[in-house]
């Protein structure tokens, strides 16, 4: 498998491509990483240095990759945080050209907008861009519960309403929806869930909740799930593998006392997931 991953990079820590690339490589996936920003660290610190890469420069990198004859080999285009409409246009154009070169290629979009605690933390034009132009051409999307609600104009809370919102999202274009953080009021305390819906059914996996904000964990989740799903075509198995790997990564980070993901130290959990969590079929 070969993944074209168009995301940010940071020198210190692990978000964007700096979070997604190594776990993908560790499970045997070839990655073509294209940067959209080159920062010293993620913006959660409140201060950072380095440039936003202008969209025309990102397009130039992609053109160079295309000129090397790589696009017909691409199985998946993966994108995450989009800093502006310009970069969104570049990503959509890349998806179009990859799919023209390889009609079986898929586009997996993590529609990063915000979360229930912080609200939207992206530029004002980004949520509309994602909803109206990006998500309709995606094959796989990996929103959190808050982002799913925005995309569909709903307020998902119960399992039934989350499933209904996921169905609405699938009606927009994507065939597969992974809801990366299900926080329904009636769940058991100390637990968090992920839910996936595709044409074959819907599944829920439950893991312990760790009181720790792990920047980049969503990028790892989107990357691993996409790769497992494209390899196997099995939503439940892909969900179980991803939940196992990501939980162990976050737990190792939490126990380390470090702020940044212990991405390298947890590498065996990607290559050989412990499979300690079972997915429950909802329908």
pLDDT in tens, 73-109: 999 999 998 878 899 999 999 999 999 999 999 999 9
CA distance 176 to 167: 9
Residue 211 neighbours by CB under 8 Å, 6+ apart: none
User: 206-235 burial by CB neighbour count: b if 16+ within 10 A, else e?
Assistant: bbebeeeebbbbbbbbbbbbbbbbbbeebb
Evaluate if residue 118 carries a pLDDT over 90: no
Q: Which residues pair with 196 in a beta bridge?
A: 178, 203
Domains (range + CATH), the chain: 2-281 (3.40.1190.20)
CA distance 89 to 168: 24
pLDDT in tens, 4-41: 999 999 999 999 999 999 999 999 999 999 999 999 99
Confidence of residue 187 (pLDDT cuts 50, 70, 90): confident
pLDDT of the residue at 185? 85
Report the DSSP pairing between strands 119-120 and 2-10: unpaired
Q: Is 280 helix (H, G, I), strand (E, B) or coil?
A: strand
pLDDT in tens, 241-260: 999 999 999 999 999 999 99
Q: Is 8 helix (H, G, I), strand (E, B) or coil?
A: strand
Evaluate if residue 282 carries a pLDDT over 90: yes
Confidence of residue 113 (pLDDT cuts 50, 70, 90): confident
Residue 63 neighbours by CB under 8 Å, 6+ apart: none
């Amino acid at each position: 498998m070969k993944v074209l991953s168009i995301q940010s990079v940071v020198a210190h820590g692990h978000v964007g491509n700096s979070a997604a690339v190594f776990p993908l490589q560790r499970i045997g996936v070839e990655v073509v990483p294209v940067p959209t920003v080159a920062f010293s660290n993620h913006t959660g610190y409140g201060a950072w240095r380095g440039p936003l890469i202008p969209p025309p420069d990102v397009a130039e990198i992609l053109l160079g990759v295309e000129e090397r004859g790589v696009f017909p080999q691409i199985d998946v285009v993966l994108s995450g945080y989009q800093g502006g409409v310009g970069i969104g246009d570049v990503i959509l154009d890349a998806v179009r050209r990859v799919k023209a070169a390889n009609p079986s290629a898929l586009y997996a979009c993590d529609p990063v907008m915000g979360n229930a605690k912080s609200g939207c933390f992206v530029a004002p034009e980004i949520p509309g861009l994602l909803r109206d132009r990006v998500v309709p051409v995606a094959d796989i999307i990996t929103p959190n519960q808050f982002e799913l609600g925005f995309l569909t104009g709903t307020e998902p809370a119960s399992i039934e309403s989350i499933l209904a919102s996921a169905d609405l999202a699938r009606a927009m274009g994507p065939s597969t929806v992974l809801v990366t953080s299900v926080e329904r009021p009636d769940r058991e305390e100390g637990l968090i869930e992920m839910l996936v819906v595709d044409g074959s059914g819907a599944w829920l996996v439950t893991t312990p909740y760790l009181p720790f904000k792990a920047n980049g964990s969503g990028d790892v989740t989107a990357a691993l799930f996409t790769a497992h799903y494209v390899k196997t075509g099995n939503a439940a198995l892909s969900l179980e593998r991803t939940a196992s790997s990501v939980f162990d990564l976050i737990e190792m980070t939490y126990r380390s006392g470090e702020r940044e993901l212990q991405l390298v130290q947890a590498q065996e959990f990607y290559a050989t997931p412990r499979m300690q969590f079972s997915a429950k079929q909802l329908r």
